[in-house]
Amino acid sequence: MSWNVEYAFLLLISTSTTFLSGILIQNASSIGRKKLYVAISLFVNLSILVLFKYYNFIGDSLTSFISIFDIEYKAPKFNLMLPVGISFYTFQALSYTMDVYQGKIKATKHFGKYALFVSFFPQLVAGPIEKSASLLPQFNSAKSFNYERIKEGLILMAWGFFKKMVIADRLAILVDTVYNNPTEYEGIELVVATFFFSIQILCDFSGYTDIAIGAAKVLGFDLSKNFNRPYFSKSIPEFWRRWHISLGSWFKDYLYFPLGGSRVVNWKKYRNILIVFIVSGLWHGASWNFLIWGLLHGMYQVLDIVLTPLMKIKNGRFNINKNNFIYKFYKVSLAFCLVSFAWIFFRANKVSDAFYIVKNLFVLNTEVILGNGIYDLGLNRTEFKVAYIALLVLLLANLLERKYNLMNLLHKQHLLVRWTYYLSLIFYILVYGVYGSNEKAAFIYFQF
């Protein structure tokens, strides 16, 4: 409300509609009435989302399409700003309606507790998207001071700030330099900026998630895990089981399965996958860039399913050991490159910029690396060194996380080791964190 008082009413409408629909669905005497109340809840919430997030995009697309036939038409525009967190809290509220309809939970009668579920501040604006069965019951139990829990929450928050302020915001300087003026660059410069964005968006979004989960833990609440070392994935399907887990789970439960999931003939399964990822792309933003990004990931998924039997035959014929380090490294590298390629469309300011980057991505200009050209992209030598050290720390943490629970591992260390870690982390954030009120200080997923 400190930003825009009127937009707070959108949150109130979404909350009130789904709260009432839950009670009406539970008390309905027939399946028909239950479906009617679900439909009303979906219509109200999705109408708000479409109006504020997609109306102008639909109008512009319609205008462009009609102009192909030499017909002059200009769709009316609304001068509306995108309400903070609308995609996240709308999906969270709708999941409650559908969970009550499917009998997964009982409708809550306490409006205050339900409103807290929809607007729980640590994860309101950028997730994780919590399921009602997981978060709502936690509001019914008393909370008391717990030193260990608070300490764990603060450590997790500090780790999140490290990823966001030291890594993501630093890499953003180079990424913004290149992606905001892509036609001035080619080859290695575009490759470095694209790979840096892959790391930036991971550290930015997972950093926010760590801060949100840590803040909730300090207050006595447990939020769901949203990231699980996604860039260690050996395939695109595995990547989506590890990246933005709560959104993937939402689409699986409330879109993919209702469409028929994978228990249908192959062409319908492929159709369902493509629909889910196109919708996922549009969920991220009202732009053709996001639609293409979602379509790319949908095509990756379909190709993986189609090619998996052939790859098994190839591996058997050539006696390839899938547990071999070189094979695993190849698979992880391939998945990372495919994901990074798709990120081009996600990050580019417009579709034409994305296609320029794709076209000029493989220009061989090694002089940028051999000379000092790489230091003309916004980060000097010192900044690169700081980024490299921070990335090594992140890589070490990810490698350790494969075998250990990092929080438990930290607790087992000597007092001196633990406090060296705490103070080093705080020192690095204070000294090497990127500060300022510019756009880089904002979390990327706040715009969704």
- Please list the active-site residues: 284
Give the whole-angstrom CA distance, residue 321 versus residue 375. 41
**Which tokens sit at 27?**
């008390």
List C-alpha distances in Å: 221 to 95, 297, 304, 405. Answer: 19, 33, 38, 19
Give the whole-angstrom CA distance, residue 62 versus residue 18. 32
Give the whole-angstrom CA distance, residue 182 versus residue 433. 26
In 264-414, where does DSSP find H-type helix? 266-284, 288-317, 325-347, 351-360, 367-370, 381-401, 406-411
- 306 burial (CB, 10 Å; 0-12 / 13-18 / 19+) is exposed
In 86-131, where does DSSP find H-type helix? 86-101, 111-118
Give the whole-angstrom CA distance, residue 270 versus residue 325. 32
**Which tokens sit at 122?**
């640590």
Give the whole-angstrom CA distance, residue 45 versus residue 10. 9
List C-alpha distances in Å: 162 to 151, 155, 301, 425. Answer: 17, 11, 33, 7
Q: What share of the chain is helix, strand, coil (3-state, %, to 5)?
A: 75, 0, 25
Measured over the CA atoms of residue 238, residue 241, residue 243 and residue 249, the dihedral's sign is positive
For residues 108 and 97, the answer to whether their CB atoms sit within 8 Å is no
Using alpha carbons, select from 196, 167, 108, 122 the residue that is nearest to residue 394: 167
For residues 390 and 165, the answer to whether their CB atoms sit within 8 Å is no
Q: What is the dihedral of CA 14, 104, 132, 222, to 10 degrees?
A: -170
